[in-house]
Amino acid sequence: MINRNILTLDEFTLQQLRNFPKATGELSRLLREIGLAAKRVNVEVNKAGLVDILGDEGTTNVQGEEVKKLDVFANNQLIGVLKHGISCAGIGSEELDDIEIFDDELSNQSKYVCLFDPLDGSSNIDVNVSIGTIFSIYRRVSPLGTPCTKEDFLQPGRKQVAAGYIVYGSSTMLVYATRRGVNGFTLDPQIGEFSLSHANIQCPKDGKIYSVNHGNFFLYNSGVKKYIDACQKKTKETGGPYTQRYIGSMVSDVHRNLIKGGIFMYPGTTDKPNGKLRLLYECNPFAFIVEVAGGKATNGEQRILDIEPTELHQRCPFFIGSENMMAELESYLEKEKS
């Protein structure tokens, strides 16, 4: 039986509209379209071990059909729903070198552009570990009625209207934030709908989990090394002991820390000073979500959401999590600077 006390994603976003009498409903539609793409990706992720979807692009499966890698499939699904919808003027994706401007009569009238990483943590697909989709939505700065432009995408993260992620895990969840709050919806497989399961998510101020790739330890700067060292030495008296958790799927790592309290770090290394993660569709959306939930996100020197982007695929060091853990990290980084 369906529990009628639980709102679906569509019902929830439509209810939110009541708070804004002048709202056009475009954002609700956009979220519904992303939810639809997520459901399609979810179906394929769940059977990834059964069908030959892990192979390389361009190979053929046993039915003689061309195999699409799952990340290409996810990318195509997102582009498909957003292009056919009427709320999005163009997209930027980790899978595409350049932005895709939809440039048709309806899309040119759309208020929003969307950036996404269609399948983050894709190296985990073939070993059955959680992966995710990350998205970021901006109101365009170019005039309505014209094709969108690169400037619409190169806005600082603080200008995001909404951001979210889907985690394909032990259950599939869609979490999204607007300035008004962060809410999580679990996919109910019986009715095929995302249903509100985590209302008004708040990131705990303290936590006991730190997430970092220890394999790179000797490539981090001394501030980061000293902080990691301090995490390992925490005792009951100093708020510990801490536990180290690193899945290698940022969506799952940050999702867990958002709910339980914790810190996630992908610092720069001596060989890659800007780290690995991409500002526009990996760091910015998570920084927005976690800040709305009461946490913090920086690149070690500056608030992530204040960085003025210059390139679609630029990378940046990334530190994100519970407010007090971030404050302690910052004190180590600061000490080592002077």
**Contact positions vs ligand AHM (CB under 6 A):** 117, 120-122, 213, 248-250, 266, 276
Q: Least distance (Å) from Mg ion to the CB of residue 184?
A: 20
Q: Least distance (Å) from ligand AHM to the CB of residue 205?
A: 23
Residue 276: which of Mg ion, ligand AHM, none does it interact with, CB under 5 to 8 A by kind? ligand AHM
Residue 174: which of Mg ion, ligand AHM, none does it interact with, CB under 5 to 8 A by kind? none
> How far is it, in rounded angstroms, from Cα 16 to Cα 113?
21
Between 99 and 101, CB nearer to ligand AHM: 99
Residue 213: which of ligand AHM, Mg ion, none does it interact with, CB under 5 to 8 A by kind? ligand AHM
Residue 71: which of ligand AHM, Mg ion, none does it interact with, CB under 5 to 8 A by kind? none
Q: Least distance (Å) from ligand AHM to the CB of residue 185?
A: 21
Structure token digits, residue 195: 């249903």
Structure token digits, residue 248: 């290698």
Residue 250: which of Mg ion, ligand AHM, none does it interact with, CB under 5 to 8 A by kind? ligand AHM
Enumerate residues 6+ apart whose C-beta is below 8 A from 224. Answer: 265, 267, 300, 332, 333
Q: Least distance (Å) from Mg ion to the CB of residue 94?
A: 5
Closest CB to ligand AHM: residue number: 250
* Per-residue b or e along 43-57, where b marks 16 or more CB atoms closer than 10 Å to that residue's CB: ebbeebeeeebeeee
Q: Where are the beta strands (DSSP E) in the chain?
A: 88-93, 100-101, 112-120, 131-139, 160-168, 172-178, 181-188, 193-198, 209-211, 243-244, 263-266, 296-298, 318-321
Q: Least distance (Å) from ligand AHM to the CB of residue 118?
A: 10
How far separated are the first and last CA of the chain, in Å rounded?
62
Enumerate residues 6+ apart whose C-beta is below 8 A from 136. Answer: 114, 115, 116, 157, 160, 163, 280, 281, 284, 285, 288
Residues that bind Mg ion (CB under 5 A): 117, 120
Between 33 and 117, CB nearer to ligand AHM: 117
Between 67 and 125, CB nearer to ligand AHM: 125
